[in-house]
Structure 1
Amino acid sequence: MKQITNISLGPASDNYQMEAEFLGQKFNIKRFGTDGDLKKAEDMLLMWNKKADVICLSAIKYLYGHSAQTIMTSKLKKLLKVANTLTTPVTTGETLRRVTHEWCIRHAQFQLGNNFFTNAKVLFLSGMASEKIANVMSEYTGNISFADPIFENSIPKILHSQLDLNRYAQRIHRPISWLPGKDLISEPSRIKAVNNYILQRAARDATVIVIPYNDFYDYIEPFSEEELKDKVIVTTTAYEDRIDALREKGVSMIIDTTPKILDRVVGVSVQEALMISALDIPKTSAIKDDLLEVISEQRLDPRIVYPQSKPKRINRFAYVIHPLSREDLKKLKPLELITEIMPKTIGPVEKLMAYAPPIVYTKITGIESPEGVEAEGWLIGLGETPEQMEKHSPEFTTKRILQAAEKARSLGAQVMGISMLPHSLEGTSIDIGKYAVLPVTTGNSYTASTALWASAEAVRQMGIVKLKNNKTLRGKTMVIGATGAVGSICARLLAKAFEEVYLVSRNMAKLLTIQETVQAENPDVTIHVSTRADTHIADMDVVVAATKGADKTLDIMRVKPGCVITDITRPMIFTSEDAAKRQDVLIITGGEILLPGNKIDMKDIGLPPRAVYAGLAETIILALEGRFEEFTTGSNTEWQKVKEIYKLGLKHGMKLSAISGVNGVLGKDDITRVKEFALKKIKKHETDR
């Protein structure tokens, strides 16, 4: 049986002796803690020389410098010099530690969907002690901060870049570390309270926190469950007592850089000693390739531990919103009070708000998919109404949305959606996709899907159009703007529900093409094409306005009683005044989506509890699915993506929550009222005939 002796600078209270098997060989492992006494550690080195197969030194706390440079005290230098003169090989585990620190981050990123750390907000409690991890993490996210000044020198400052960390290490930390008697100076209680406040705020904002191995409990002492609940912790050699401590503080995941190669968790210095002994590596040999071979062949992967028993993952999104009209602006405080006292100020206020910087309107939490993944995000508000967007150049709006993207990135969002822009700005979202710091989706795919979903539900609730074979509606529907990206999607969806579909557009060649496509997919449906909506408008049961040009041809006074008009243009064609003219016609502007999760928390957005707009729902679906990509770009709404996002929505528990009209959400009473007016008018027409 081979002997591994672990001489630790840590506490003697953690000493142990154990027998273990590794690579088919048996080992006796003994740990001796010296409570930081380097002279005692030196004496033990000399005592175990030639008695152990390999000696490992552990819990060495270096004075870290700059760019992987380590600075050692004279006593530590002497200890390592003595170790180098022994006959028995001595290891500190540094080679394996550097490999595992990098490997654990890459491994976790790959195993957890290849996007786990993407734009995560990562707080390093000691960037100097975790420099290798920080270097790798920076490949996946720029949201990295460091608490070194607080923990090392009681300086109330969080650093927000590796460049700042390097400057701190060179210009402040290194000179201070050499001051005699520095460790004897206690931290004033007032400074400690300020530092704890800064640390706790930084921890609450972070999604990932990196905790060094040495002084582990000192590092976590300032934090409670309020700061660490649902956080991801990256640390080294997570012993059971450390896992228990993090479990009590609500941590959801622990990524341990140290693989577990024995029944008991042992540190990297012991593991490196086991590998050296098992492979009989000579003392003078370079061990990198040998260690790599063992790690690869034995699959010594870093550990991922779930302290709360079940895996939990929270993905993050942002969504850019803007007021759809002056009326929406009036709802904002303090604009509500100003415009109430001075109504004429709304015009200048609307112009001024177009220049306002993006702000966080609300954070959304508590979204839980049936698949087990969660999502949280932020609604970022711009002050531009659609009218102001059309008065300014596209570059004006593009610049503000790109600013919103920067803000979303700083918050930790991994994908961003933008609410529907006016038709004249369709190209803007393409430019945004090119230059934004986050992948951007317009939400148009799910908007098209839910608009027709809402339309079908409205027709069902009206109950005027009857079903054929319990599937197809015995009625006629028209799509105005059928050759556009959204209009063509609407045509294909409606053709699956109605007996007759009328496609209207000014481009005859494109009309014939879309007719051919829709007919091939639905051979039993009658497809009509026309360049004029007014010719057949009076016969339609459902009309979809998918182009701004519909305002010139869609006369609400000519549609039949009980008609359902779906207006998906922005700005909308119809107003509350139009709806008042025809109380027997139902005008809807889209469908809103009920989010999965019973504890959703967000500010009021003018919809029922848990309900959100379809474009926002598309962004949330992508976050839940871990699809941090440009899903819908510009006005380029693709049929396959409409079907895909609809299925993904069902997968993650999305449901139709409400049907919206020109004055907001339509309740069942609103639809019943329209139905009653329509039936009276229909009956009157029949009587008059």
Structure 2
Amino acid sequence: MKRVISLSLGSSKRDKTVTAEFFGETFEISRQGVDGDEKKFVERLAELDGTVDAIGYGGMDRYLWSEGKRYEFAVSRKLLAGAKKTPVLDGSGLKNTLERAAVEWLQANNVVDFKNKKTLIVSAVDRFGMSEALIACGGQICFGDLMFGLDLPVGITNPKVFKVVARTLLPIVVQMPLSMLYPTGDKQNHIVPKWGKWYAWADVIAGDFLYIRRHMPDDLKGKTILTNTTTEENQKELKERGVKQLITTTPIFDGRSFGTNVMEAMLVAINGGKEMQSEEYLAMLQKLDWKPNVITL
């Protein structure tokens, strides 16, 4: 049995362990949160290094991308320095393929007509494949990076302007401390409604679920949510708010969709611990006959 652990800076309340089979291999897949405790994260990573087939890095990105250029978070580089034997994957390699393919599949199969929808993508630099695919569809888009990432009341609706802003700010953003960038630990369990104008404007709300959830309003009637890493409790929350459709880009195991970091770690484990290029990830996904999960709430 292959073992894949997603070690997350997030809340331990979202922990889950399941078994699944891919390409004839049985996997034990486990998500373990450290409640925002960076010291505990480093200690647990050292314990896991060399004892499992692959490790997913959850609760934060290691890399952000813009126009083909990769930026590494300083805090992530420091946190992951202790992993010497086991590959650690943050999901960014898979986001460029899986989530891009998800948007293309949904459009081509008339599940979601992005061309004629208004889409709020809460953090496009975190979902570069998804954001590029949405732009290609031609619909209206609001890039929420300044709002959801930096708490600045600015929604960007012009893709060209967004690219300029991303190019300017990313070198600065990746040097910021973890506390300023992403909800970790107990903060992941609280909802503080904000940016209601843009939630109301959008037909589709896309991107990282914890960003979506962190500021979502009580009323999301008729909305489509395009995301991953949702639990059964999250589905209940969305249904209570009137969400029409939940689409997850990663497979559901025992009522739970894990993050791209888990899927990327699984594929790397199958590949003997060797990281892959975008076309190699896509080829493996095609062999799995992967498709997005569409759930009517």
Q: What TM-score results when the alignment is normalised by the length of structure 1?
A: 0.38
1:57 is aligned to 57
Q: Which letter does structure 2 place at the counterpart of 1:158?
A: G
Aligned length: 286
Can you list the C-alpha shifts for 1:213-232, whole angstroms capped at 9, x where unaligned? 34442132xx221xx21112
The DSSP-based 3-state class of the residue aligned with 2:120 is strand
2:196 is aligned to 200
Q: Any conservation in 2 of the 1:127–1:165 contact (CA below 8 Å)?
A: no
1:286 counterpart = 2:283:
no
1:155 is aligned to 152
CA change 1:262–1:106 in 2 (3 A) is farther
The DSSP-based 3-state class of the residue aligned with 1:10 is coil
CA change 1:176–1:273 in 2 (3 A) is closer
The DSSP-based 3-state class of the residue aligned with 2:265 is helix
Q: Any conservation in 1 of the 2:95–2:127 contact (CA below 8 Å)?
A: no
Q: Any conservation in 1 of the 2:9–2:38 contact (CA below 8 Å)?
A: yes
Unmatched tracts of structure 1, length 5 or more:
185-194, 308-689
Q: Any conservation in 2 of the 1:6–1:30 contact (CA below 8 Å)?
A: yes
1:213 is aligned to 209
The DSSP-based 3-state class of the residue aligned with 2:257 is coil
Q: Report 1:274-353 matches (<5 A).
A: 274-277=266-269, 279=270, 281-284=271-274, 286=276, 288=278, 290-307=280-297
Q: Any conservation in 1 of the 2:248–2:257 contact (CA below 8 Å)?
A: no
Q: Distance in 1 between matches of 2:139 and 2:277?
A: 34
1:165 counterpart = 2:162:
yes
1:118 is aligned to 115
CA change 1:151–1:164 in 2 (3 A) is same
CA change 1:25–1:151 in 2 (3 A) is closer
Q: Distance in 1 between matches of 2:259 and 2:65?
A: 23
Can you list the C-alpha shifts for 1:351-388, whole angstroms capped at 9, x where unaligned? xxxxxxxxxxxxxxxxxxxxxxxxxxxxxxxxxxxxxx
Q: Deviation of residue 252 (structure 1)?
A: 0.8
CA change 1:154–1:93 in 2 (3 A) is closer
Q: Any conservation in 2 of the 1:254–1:305 contact (CA below 8 Å)?
A: yes
Q: Report 1:663-674 matches (<5 A).
A: none
Q: Deviation of residue 27 (structure 1)?
A: 2.7
Q: Deviation of residue 234 (structure 1)?
A: 1.4
Q: Which letter does structure 2 place at the counterpart of 1:256?
A: T
1:109 is aligned to 107
- Which one has the largest radius of gyration? 1
Q: Deviation of residue 70 (structure 1)?
A: 4.7
1:28 counterpart = 2:24:
no
Can you list the C-alpha shifts for 1:508-559, whole angstroms capped at 9, x where unaligned? xxxxxxxxxxxxxxxxxxxxxxxxxxxxxxxxxxxxxxxxxxxxxxxxxxxx
Q: Distance in 2 between matches of 1:180 and 1:292?
A: 33
Can you list the C-alpha shifts for 1:146-203, whole angstroms capped at 9, x where unaligned? 232222333222211122222333445754775789849xxxxxxxxxx94xx32333
1:268 is aligned to 260
1:613 is aligned to none
1:95 is aligned to 93
Q: Deviation of residue 209 (structure 1)?
A: 1.6
Q: Report 1:279-428 matches (<5 A).
A: 279=270, 281-284=271-274, 286=276, 288=278, 290-307=280-297
Alpha-carbon RMSD: 3.0
Q: Deviation of residue 266 (structure 1)?
A: 2.5
Q: Deviation of residue 301 (structure 1)?
A: 0.7
The DSSP-based 3-state class of the residue aligned with 1:41 is helix
Q: Deviation of residue 118 (structure 1)?
A: 1.9
Q: Report 1:240-251 matches (<5 A).
A: 240-251=232-243
2:3 is aligned to 3
1:79 is aligned to 79
CA change 1:276–1:74 in 2 (3 A) is closer
Can you list the C-alpha shifts for 1:109-132, whole angstroms capped at 9, x where unaligned? 12226x711232112222322332
Identity of aligned residues (%): 24
Q: Any conservation in 2 of the 1:9–1:37 contact (CA below 8 Å)?
A: yes
Unmatched tracts of structure 2, length 5 or more:
182-192
Q: Which letter does structure 2 place at the counterpart of 1:17?
A: T
CA change 1:205–1:260 in 2 (3 A) is same
Q: Which letter does structure 2 place at the counterpart of 1:91?
A: L
Q: Which letter does structure 1 place at the counterpart of 2:264?
A: E
Q: Deviation of residue 306 (structure 1)?
A: 0.8
CA change 1:275–1:215 in 2 (3 A) is same
CA change 1:149–1:268 in 2 (3 A) is closer
The DSSP-based 3-state class of the residue aligned with 1:55 is strand
Q: Deviation of residue 32 (structure 1)?
A: 2.1
Can you list the C-alpha shifts for 1:291-323, whole angstroms capped at 9, x where unaligned? 33332122111111111xxxxxxxxxxxxxxxx
1:224 counterpart = 2:214:
no
Q: Any conservation in 1 of the 2:98–2:282 contact (CA below 8 Å)?
A: no
Can you list the C-alpha shifts for 1:390-443, whole angstroms capped at 9, x where unaligned? xxxxxxxxxxxxxxxxxxxxxxxxxxxxxxxxxxxxxxxxxxxxxxxxxxxxxx
Q: Which letter does structure 1 place at the counterpart of 2:103?
A: I
Q: Any conservation in 2 of the 1:59–1:214 contact (CA below 8 Å)?
A: no
Q: Any conservation in 1 of the 2:73–2:175 contact (CA below 8 Å)?
A: no
2:17 is aligned to 17
The DSSP-based 3-state class of the residue aligned with 1:139 is helix
Q: Deviation of residue 69 (structure 1)?
A: 4.2
Q: Deviation of residue 269 (structure 1)?
A: 2.2
Q: Any conservation in 1 of the 2:10–2:35 contact (CA below 8 Å)?
A: yes
Q: Report 1:525-544 matches (<5 A).
A: none
